[in-house]
Amino acid sequence: MENKVLKKEKIKSIEKALDLLELLSDNKIEMGITEINRELHMGFSTIHRILNTLKYRGYIVQNQQTSKYMLGTKLFILGCKVQNTTNLIKLVTPFLQRLSQNTNETINFAILEGREAIYLFKIESKEMLKAGIEVGTKVAAHCASLGKILLAFLPEQEFMMLYPNNDEKLPTFTPNSISSVEELKKCLKKIKKQGYAIDEEEFKIGVNCLGIPIINNEGKAIAAISISGPVSRFNLFEMEKVKSMLIALSQDISKQLLNSM
């Protein structure tokens, strides 16, 4: 059933562009429009439009002497970003394991993508009753401790690009969710000052989270770590007990990050 849904949702023009990129990546030599047509059986006008778009975005380049095409540096840059994230996860994993042992709650690691926090890594609690989000899940940043701490450390200009309208209403998931950009701004100001963020059943009823940032040498939060647990066990009192340990962990990771550069 899932495969049928995915098949319906596929966009043909994007598929064709990806086919073209994969073809160029498989070939060690430049390719012209005729050669691409022969391999992919696309119309010449379609190939031309896709090539122009990809060239404009830096994904391919054209040899001015031969008029043929090859992969550009954009894909390499994107690959480096993925590699940097992978390296960062490797760097923080021992810290997260230590935090997991000390708290016995679920530990999450996420980055910001637009208005969403993407969960990339987690260490699950060994308790029978546990709280956590699956790796790969995207959550609205304004209702999660990880997302809020990442938003709090964004440069003002970047934040304004994401949330240009101060009067905008934001989607809510529980009665505790932040519901407007104006409210979010007030919350983030406090979060940045204190250096941590709390999610009191803002995304999911029955789940509390406490999040801290990973700060790079430019003072920007490049990722975030959180502890999440059921409210019956991970209440405000328990969060207060581990808060200083979590902040110290954030500082240790940031120092390690600086030393590894």
pLDDT digits (tens, 9 = 90+) for 102-124: 989 999 999 888 899 989 888 98
Mean pLDDT of 142-166: 91
Residue 142 has pLDDT above 60, yes or no: yes
Q: pTM (2 decimals)?
A: 0.70
Split at pLDDT 50, 70, 90, the class of 10 is low
Higher pLDDT, 135 or 106: 106
Residue 8 has pLDDT above 80, yes or no: no
Distance CA 84, CA 90 (A): 10
Three-state DSSP class for residue 259: helix
Average per-residue pLDDT in the chain? 86
Burial 91-103 (b: 16+ CB within 10 A, else e): ebeebbeebbeeb
User: Domains in the chain, start-ordered, CATH in brackets?
Assistant: 2-72 (1.10.10.10), 81-260 (3.30.450.40)
Split at pLDDT 50, 70, 90, the class of 80 is low
Three-state DSSP class for residue 121: strand
Distance CA 105, CA 223 (A): 19
Distance CA 150, CA 173 (A): 19
Query: Between helices 12-26 and 33-40, what is the axis angle to 10°?
Result: 110
